[in-house]
Structures are given as structure tokens and as C-alpha cells.
Amino acid sequence: MISRWFAGGTELAFAMGLVLSISRLGDFLALLVTSAIGTALGGFTWVLWIGTFLVFLSLISVVVYSIMDKSSEKYFPHRVVDPEENQLNFRAIPKFDPRFWLIAITCLSYYGGIFPFISILNHFLTDVYHMDNTPVNWYENEVTWYSSVVTLASMVLSPFLGKFLDKVARRPYFVILGSMIVVPCHIWMALRLPYPLIPIVLIGLSFSLVPSALWPSVPLVIRPREVATAFGVMAAIQNSGLAIINVISGEFNYTTVMWFFVGMDIVGLLSAIALVIVDKAKGSILISPDRKLIDAAREAQGIN
């Protein structure tokens, strides 16, 4: 939806950053207050009912969006797209640009070291750093606040970083930077060094930077009519990998798992470096801030 309205302009990363920020707000609140709600209302049945209401609200939002999107065509005729655009096209998958596959590998590797880390962070801080996880008031729960820092940082920073990336481009370089930030953080945790808040804050910074640069790169290297298929493939690769990684995370001790995350971080870093090399060889679409040069390169490569 976002790529349809913003891919042709200069605010794609900013728009995606705003949506990502609101998404992270939901993650943050879920991490912070879910247990408190269940305790206050006498059981997690009520938490599930609240979740059901939120899903229903999401459904209503999509319906309203669809109506607004259709009615907007008469006000924005230049936005009316080919009827085939954004339809699933599985025959196009083998022909996707090599940069897309590098983006997908980077996405899988990077998120493979972040989401499972967030999922075990509460127990990790309790068991390894011996933080108290059972205060009466949720707002006094040190573990809860620590584990919420990653999503909180992403919630606050993503729109600003998106706006910044729209101006300077150089997206793969910032993916490299974000990957370089997260590697020593997981090493810090693997070695069980003191002051865990420091690597947690840095991981939050990285978690704001990498998605803001990575996801808006997809519409730049994929033809408009195949963007929906590309995002679907990318999400399928990411979630399939995360399913396997979560199983692995539950089979080993904390130290081994943290070193496994370091390995995933390094794979993501190497694939991001490969993305820079390939993009330079194919016209610097992801690197150049000049929209005219990007459009010319896309035209020459048959991406428009």
C-alpha cells in the first residue's frame, strides 16, 4: 500500500518509518503492559479479548483504507495504476533482480538475530543478570523496561531515520552500519559483560536504522506490478527462517544462542556488503540520492 503511493516520490522511507513506528508502539505496549492487564483483570482470557478487539479494529481500518484508496483515484488520476499492478505474479519470482535476493537474505539474517533475541530477553536478564522480574507494579519491573528498550528506540527513531534516508539515500551503507552495531552487542551478551542496558540501547538504535533502509529498497529494484509479490516472498523467507531460528534458540543455553546470533549478524553484514557491490555494478539505484539517475538506471534495466 505504501509503495503504491510513495515509490515514485521522495518520501518512501519516511512513510514506511511512520508505519513502522506505530507498529513498534503496539509491540512496546504489548511487552510492557500485557502481564499487568492479565493480572489486573484476573486472567489472560481478557488479554485475548482485547487482542481480538484490536484485530477487529485492524480489519475496519483496512476496509476504510480500501474505500479511501478507490475514491482517491478521481482526485489523483496520476496515481491510478495498471490493473495488473500489485497482483501476485509467481512467474516473475525467478526473474527478480539479484539485489532483491540479497535484500531478502540480509533481512532474514538481520531479523534472525533480533526477534529471537527480543523473545528471550526477559528470561535472559532474569537468569543471567539476576534482575528481579516480580515487582507488584509493572512500571517498577526493571526487566520489562529493559526488554522494551529495543522496540521503544525503533518506535521513536524510525520516522526520523526514514526522512534522513530519503534525503541522503546510501541505503545499503546504513544497513552495513546497523549490522556492524549489532555484532558487538551480541558478543557483549555472549560474554555476559556488565551493564546490559548499553548493548540493548545500541541494538535498539540498529533496529531503527536497518529496517528504515532495507524495506524501502525493495520497490526500487522491483517492477511496480511485482512489488506485492516481492514483499510476499521476502516476508515468507523471513518468517520461515525465524521459525527455524526460534526452534534453535530454545534448544541451547544462553551463551550458545548469543554466539549463534553473532553468526546471523555476520551473515547479514556480508550480504549487505555484497548488496553494495552488486548495486554499484548495476547503476547505484540504492545508493544514489539523485532521483533522475535512479529513474534512468531503472529504465535501462527494465524495472520501471
Q: Let me know: does 212 contact 73? Beta carbons within 8 Å.
A: no
Provide the CATH topology of domain 2-40+81-300: Growth Hormone; Chain: A; (1.20.1250)
The mean pLDDT value for 70-92 works out to: 67
The pLDDT tens digits for 124-179 are 998 898 887 665 455 566 777 788 888 888 888 888 988 888 888 888 999 999 99
The pLDDT tens digits for 177-228 are 999 999 999 999 999 999 999 999 999 999 989 988 998 889 888 888 888 8
The pLDDT tens digits for 194-204 are 999 999 999 99
Whether the pLDDT of residue 79 is over 70: the answer is no
Quickly state the pLDDT bin for 269 (edges 50, 70, 90): very high
82 or 10, higher pLDDT: 10
- From the list 214, 219, 212, the residue with the least C-alpha distance to 295 is 219
Quickly state the pLDDT bin for 235 (edges 50, 70, 90): very high
The pLDDT tens digits for 4-59 are 777 655 788 888 888 888 888 888 787 777 777 777 787 788 888 988 999 999 99
pTM: 0.83
Domain extents in the chain: 2-40+81-300
Strand locations in the chain (E): none
**Helical axes 171-191 vs 98-128, angle rounded to 10°:** 30
**How is residue 281 written as a grid cell?**
555494478
Give pLDDT, residue 194.
92
Residues 118, 122, 126, 129, CA torsion sign: positive
- From the list 275, 263, 101, 273, the residue with the least C-alpha distance to 182 is 263
